[in-house]
Chain A
């Protein structure tokens, strides 16, 4: 086995027992990035020197006997997390020159745990997208291929660069962020595990804002256990984020081994939508069977407001985005295009700096917040959001976790679903309800499509009960025994 194929748990053990060094591990990943990133475009900014510097410090820490579970582990950092001294773009041209003077809390905690940062991973511009094609720095190619075809597929989005990097063995794990499915859908498209924790579990300080009431950071990795190890380091109360939860962080890694015996797993009738493909339907049945075989009890439940999830999301998220993105005006940071006067400068700066999808969402958001339409759209959406939360609260009085598919299809081709933005938005149909309710949800690779592409199942848990999500996800992972590999990967 090469260094690039290790899991985080395996690499941690090998580093601790001095079988490998953090420098060797970082160098192997730097080499893989140099070889494959020109094709995959998974990283906007590889930082090989930073990686070696972090690795050197990690080796010193291991030698001193003060290593943690992430000391020396090479990670990709979604380019939405501010990293002090390393350019952070949010995949937008408007932030092309931006070098943050401070570190996000999540990345600071990873650094404190000894992690090695390989570079800043590509994403949809400001995390708005489901295919990574809206990046101002070019699309990411999914390392997976359909059987017998070399057609380029999308890695999903918005954390598509993180997903491609981990799937192609360019990193052992990655940070992602999830506003409506941006960790879970790309994890499903690339055969990875990825968790969006409970809203409030990970600090949002230093994570460039898209929709503040929905944005949550989370890990992506090749196993459920690796996600648990990463989330452990990323979580915790932060006084710098007013929505950070003042709660103790449980032992997530221990939860992975708990099993599902006696757990009640809900199957929501409303997720069985018209037109669901036979393939996804069969995958869901397989997931149910795998959990039942391990002692879980399957319970039919109802989440009656599911069909309003997407319309509510596509009002709330753009509304918050239009407000958050008002700060990009070419005055204090970011790119500027000069104009005849101040207003002209603002207009030219924003016209040149934002891509088409970001402009579309700013316009939708500004419209739904405007005086004449606020009650009809934004306020109404917030009320329905409460009903969606209530659906989950009621369901969780009967069950311990909920099992659904992650996405309506496997990864699609670059250039497909691009004609109409609504077709692209439908990718989030199974993931947005959990985002709106703020509950934790994880995607686990569970099977392959007829064309040989990975498909994920989603496990949704109660607020702050990531432990049960990890337990159920690990049971699915054990049962499914997913071992397929992407075509493009570091050997």
Chain B
């Protein structure tokens, strides 16, 4: 028996390899718990 990975009764669709969105930096960062300028901010990782 073949494993069934999903409920969709169809082959996976491919789309053209083109950029479909972007230029929404502020929206992407709007929910950040902490940010530094245009970056997400996290505790220090490298000593």
Q: Are A and B interaction partners?
A: yes
Q: Mark A residues whose CB is within 8 Å of B.
A: 97-99, 101-102, 198-200, 212-214, 216, 239, 242-243, 245-246, 330-336, 338-342, 344-345, 379, 382-387, 389, 435-438, 463-464
Answer whether residue B36 sits at the interface, using C-beta atoms and an 8 A cutoff: no
Are B8 and A98 in contact, CB atoms less than 8 angstroms apart? no
Are A199 and B7 in contact, CB atoms less than 8 angstroms apart? yes
Tell me the bound Cα distance from A200 to B13 in angstroms. Answer: 12
Are A243 and B6 in contact, CB atoms less than 8 angstroms apart? yes
**What is the distance, in angstroms, from B30's C-beta to the closest C-beta of chain A?**
6
Give how many B residues have a beta carbon under 8 Å from the other chain's beta carbons: 26
Answer whether residue B1 sits at the interface, using C-beta atoms and an 8 A cutoff: yes
Contact of B43 among A243, A245, A338, A379 (CB under 8 A): A338
Residues of A within 8 A of B13 (CB): 242, 246
**What is the distance, in angstroms, from A394's C-beta to the closest C-beta of chain B?**
14
Answer whether residue B10 sits at the interface, using C-beta atoms and an 8 A cutoff: yes
Are B32 and A333 in contact, CB atoms less than 8 angstroms apart? yes
Tell me the bound Cα distance from A101 to B4 in angstroms. Answer: 34
Chain A residue at smallest Cβ distance from B33: A336
Are A239 and B15 in contact, CB atoms less than 8 angstroms apart? yes
Which of B27, B28, B31 has the largest count of A CB atoms less than 10 A from its CB?
A: B31
Are A340 and B6 in contact, CB atoms less than 8 angstroms apart? no
Interface residue SS majority, chain B:
loop
**What is the distance, in angstroms, from B21's C-beta to the closest C-beta of chain A?**
10
B1-19, CB < 8 A from A = 1-10, 12-13, 15
Knowing A101-B31, A336-B33, A379-B3 touch, does A245 contact B40 (C-beta < 8 A)?
Answer: no
Knowing A340-B43, A341-B45 touch, does A332 contact B31 (C-beta < 8 A)?
Answer: yes
Contact of B8 among A335, A339, A436, A438 (CB under 8 A): A438
Are A383 and B42 in contact, CB atoms less than 8 angstroms apart? no
- Proximity string of chain B (32-44) to chain A, C-beta cutoff 8 Å, 1 when within and 0 when not: 1110000010111
Residues of B within 8 A of A216 (CB): 7
Q: What are 10 A-B interface contacts by the 8 Å CB criterion?
A: A97-B31, A212-B6, A242-B13, A342-B45, A345-B43, A382-B4, A389-B4, A435-B7, A437-B7, A438-B6
Tell me the bound Cα distance from A437 to B15 in angstroms. Answer: 26
Tell me the bound Cα distance from A57 to B3 in angstroms. Answer: 49
Contact of A330 among B7, B10, B33 (CB under 8 A): B33
Chain B residue at smallest Cβ distance from A240: B20
Are A214 and B7 in contact, CB atoms less than 8 angstroms apart? yes
Tell me the bound Cα distance from A101 to B27 in angstroms. Answer: 6
